[in-house]
Amino acid sequence: MTRVTRLSAAIAALTVCGVLAIGAASVGAKTTSKGRRDSGVVHFALTYTAGGKDYSAGNSQDKLFGTGAVTYVIKILPTTTSALEITAKPVTLYFKNGTLTGTATALLTPGANGAATISGGKLTASHGTAGQAGHSVTLTFQGSGSTTTGSYTITYTGFYK
């Protein structure tokens, strides 16, 4: 697999993480002992590569919070399987009232004709600014995209406190 293909896959996984965090920050969601439930969709793409890392950005549509944005710095590691291990640090989630920063992980599995799936995604963010200070989010995600174009779509669910 080429470096560009691995980078595109990693970026997709990280973007999903960022979108998940944005959705979780929504106000008015039902509260459980784990926090407020949320879900949403993120669309993102690789913007550039430098210093052995991929930089990505995207937009999200969250059930509770509405539209948002996310950026992340991704590092891709090979595994003993055909999947690639993706770690995004930092993942920064942008909300109307502030930001949350954290870390995300996922597996990216390349398929035929440049197709790729993202699975096992997890995001944790607890470093907030402005109205997000003192808040945290824990999310899971999955998605699909193209290692050829570097664009991905991710769906997520999780809790915001």
The whole-number pLDDT of residue 23 equals: 45
> Model pTM?
0.79
Q: Based on C-alpha coordinates, what's the Rg of the chain?
A: 14
127 contacts 136 by C-beta, under 8 angstroms: no
CATH of domain 3-160: 2.40.160
The pLDDT, as a whole number, for residue 2 is 53
**pLDDT tens, position by position, for the chain (161 residues)?**
454 454 444 544 454 444 444 444 444 445 678 889 988 899 999 999 999 999 999 998 877 777 899 998 999 887 778 899 999 999 998 888 888 999 999 999 999 999 999 999 999 999 999 988 998 889 999 999 999 999 999 999 999 88
* Domain spans, the chain: 3-160
Cα distance between residue 70 and residue 93, in whole Å: 5
> Which two tokens mark 73?
């710095």
